[in-house]
Amino acid sequence: MNEAIARVLRCIRARIGAVMLVCGDLAALLFALTLSFWLRYDNLTLSQVIHDHLLRHLPSVCIALCCYSLIFRAFRLYRYAWRFASLEMLGGVVIANAVGLCLMLVLQHVVNGQVIPYSVAVIFLMLSIAMVGGMRIFLRMASLSANYGRQAFNFVHRDTRPKRIIILGGGPAGARLLNALLDDLGPGYEVIGILDDSPRKNGIYIRNARVLGPMRNLYRLLEERAVDEVLIALPAASGAMFREYVLACRRRKVPVKIIPAIRDVLNGQKLPELEEISVEDLLRRPPVRTDLSKIGGCIKGARVMVTGAGGSIGSELCRQIMRFDPATLILLGHGENSIHQIYQELRRSFPDREDCLRMVIASVADEVRMDQVFNAHRPQMVFHTAAHKHVPIMETNLIEAIKNNVLGSNCVAECCGRYGVQRMVLISTDKAVMPSSVMGATKWLCEEVTRAAARKFSSTSYVTVRFGNVLGSRGSVVPIFHEAIKRRGPICVTHPEMTRFFMSIPEAVQLVLQASAFGNSGQLYVLDMGEPVKIMDLACDMIRLCGFEPNSDIPITFTGIRNGEKLHEALVSEDEAMEPAACDGLFEVHRPQYFIGDEVTEVVTKFKKLTNAGDTVEVRNLLGEVVPGFAHKTLLAEAV
């Protein structure tokens, strides 16, 4: 009953907020129109402006204001309200106001037989965009300030330095490439210069890009970190020269792209096939480096358990943990083959430490078995990586997703608290941010389960680490694309605009270890994943680094977005805020309080009953009730 009343109250508050925002928009538009006339006819008083100009257009203006609210609704400005005051939303504000102005001019012509002066219309458009968009930004900042005080202004700060590009080759191919770049690139890119070996071109300008000297200057620019990306426009380049430049860029982790005219060099006719692809070459940024020396004190001599130890993240955690000489490393997993594989690898890598390894086959969702494991091994640190992660599969296996992810995480968190574990670290995912999939919704609940455990067990420190895709992990696009390239294609990409955040497995694990050492109990941390990468660009980079040209040598096909997938992922939601953590590569995430008291325990109990009954419909309904926004997105997906 209390939950039903709370839902009704939340719904009423949301309705009231939406009505107030609509009224605010209408008032802002009316004020902007009045101010536009007054600025245009500055020799008149405000009362004269209203009487002589505004009242003449009153019927059409009233109709237009109603239409404005419908247009804003069509552009989802009321659905997102202040929480989505971002650049994407401001783009919607600009377009919606422009459409509204055009409609208002048409209505004035039909209703009044005349339209407002075009100078007034231009002023009104600028003012309406500023006021409607500014009101949402103000509300966004006001909300953050109410929750986080002066830190709110730090949360909205983002680094906006453009990506610096160097072009190799100042000939016709370089000029064509430069023209295409200047015509198509946005403000996020900057062509800082061209390198060409011809002495006659040194110092000249091609459009607005200066030739900075011979190509050997690339080494100096790479050394000074003055370039973020290199584009090669050398149709007549020799194989040795091309390889030298490419490998120099790859050593500095600077992306290299080549125009199609050099295809003969890439496909092996003039140059042996390039070396095997390194995952770090695909990150499009320098890998995050961490100082692991400070972490050793937490792990050395400790009893450490890793759940999901046979997985990509779990196995790498085991490798790095062993370097810090733990007293015991418990390899826990549900699949015996993967656990045996990482056990044998660690035996070979650390032959003198074989006695500290323990293999445990168990499901994290089995409460009786997990209680036995914790009682027998008494771990002091637990890294919980075990989870079902495959988005499309979990869409059709909802019961198992809830059991393994939600009930399993709750079981591990409860055991950690009861058996006095010093620290538990939960591995989460960016798919838990505004989840559109069953997998993402269950991981959002895992974060809340761990957060509730931190309140319940004060002697155990609970830390959650959230990050995006890891290159080279099981199911990652990298091995899939690599196998497709070996078969000479095709490479299957779901959507040309799909983006994801990427890290390599080692750097992700290093930052997880760092969070385990320095994180505060109940705190959620996000790894610094850099900028999101287009899957399409990733595929093209892999094809080129293997010595081929996309769509010429290796075809790329689009298969469509799968059920539960999103076009773009985010690391935090609109009601969360980030600030730099005490250690590099990590951000603290400040979240609202979604559950009060024992509400999380009640939710877990309900899921347990429903999953035991196998009631998939009720499980999905409950998931939609407790996870913000999930039910709405699920309905949209089913409608599509």
Lowest-pLDDT choice from 145-149, 309-313, 626-630: 145-149
Please check whether residues 342 and 258 belong to one and the same domain: no
pLDDT the model gives residue 48: 67
Half-sphere exposure of 560 (CA within 13 A, CB side): 3
pLDDT score for 271: 35
What residue has token string 């770049």?
A: 181
Residue 33's pLDDT is: 79
344: nearest Cα among 384, 310, 294: 310
Do 151 and 170 have their domain in common?
no
Residue 267 pLDDT: 44
| CA gap 444, 428 in Å, rounded | 8
The answer to the question of residue 486 being in a domain is no
Q: What's the pLDDT score for residue 103?
A: 82
- Based on the fold, state whether residues 349 and 438 are members of the same structural domain: yes
Does the residue 560 lie in any domain? no
Q: Cα–Cα distance between 471 and 501 in angstroms, integer?
A: 10
pLDDT at 474: 57
pLDDT tens by residue, 146-161: 554 554 454 444 434 5
* pLDDT score, position 27: 83
Number of domains present in the structure of the chain: 3
In this predicted model, which residue has the larger pLDDT, 532 or 338?
338
What's the token pair of residue 305? 């358990």
Higher-confidence residue of 255 and 382: namely 382
pLDDT tops 90 at residue 309: yes
- Same domain? For 15 and 124 the reply is yes
478: in domain:
no
Enter the tokens of residue 164.
Answer: 């610096």
Give the range of the structural domain holding residue 592, as residue numbers without chain letter.
298-470+503-528+576-639
Give domain status of residue 226, yes or no. yes
For the chain, the average pLDDT equals 78
Length of the chain: 640
Which pLDDT belongs to residue 79? 56
What pLDDT score was predicted for residue 452? 93
Name the least confident of 70-84, 201-215, 226-240, 315-329.
70-84
Q: Do both 325 and 426 map to the same domain?
A: yes
Tell me whether residue 629 is in a domain.
yes
292: which residues sit within 8 A by CB, 6+ positions away?
320, 324, 510, 513, 514
| Pair (507, 603) in one structural domain | yes
Neighbours of 260 (CB within 10 A): 12
The whole-angstrom separation of Cα 19 and Cα 499 is 35
More confident residue, 222 or 630: 222
Q: What is the pLDDT of residue 631?
A: 56
Look at residues 155, 176, 196 and tell me which one is the last residue of a structural domain.
155
Is the same domain home to 231 and 369? no
92 touches 139 (CB < 8 A): no
Q: Identify whether residues 150 and 171 lie together within a single domain.
A: no
Q: Could you tell me if 145 and 115 lie in one domain?
A: yes
Q: Looking at the domain assignment, is residue 533 inside a domain?
A: no
Indicate whether 366 belongs to any domain: yes
Q: In terms of domains, do 397 and 349 share one?
A: yes
The answer to whether residues 198 and 253 belong to one domain is yes
CA neighbours closer than 13 Å in the CB half-sphere of residue 89: 22
Domain boundary among 87, 121, 155: 155
What is the pLDDT, as a whole number, of residue 52?
Answer: 64
Query: From the CB of residue 629, how many other CB atoms can be counted at a distance below 10 Å?
Result: 15
pLDDT category at 575 given cuts 50, 70, 90 is confident
Q: How confident is the model at residue 11 (pLDDT cuts 50, 70, 90)?
A: low
Entry pTM: 0.58
Q: What pLDDT band is residue 51 in, cutting at 50, 70 and 90?
A: low
Asked whether residue 58 carries a pLDDT value surpassing 90, the answer given is no
CATH number at residue 458: 3.40.50.720
Of all residues in the chain, the percent with pLDDT exceeding 90 is: 23
Region of poorest pLDDT, from 298-307, 395-404, 438-447, 557-566? 557-566
* Highest mean pLDDT pick, 191-195, 240-244, 636-640: 191-195
136/40 same-domain check: yes
Asked if pLDDT for residue 400 goes beyond 50, the answer is yes
pLDDT of residue 156: 47
Question: How do residues 82-130 score in pLDDT, each as one tens digit?
Answer: 444 455 566 778 888 888 888 888 877 777 777 777 787 888 888 888 8
The residue among 134, 155, 176 that closes a domain is: 155
Q: Is residue 549 part of a domain?
A: no
- Of 358, 225, 356, residue with least CA distance to 302: 356
Amino acid identity for residue 216 in this structure: R
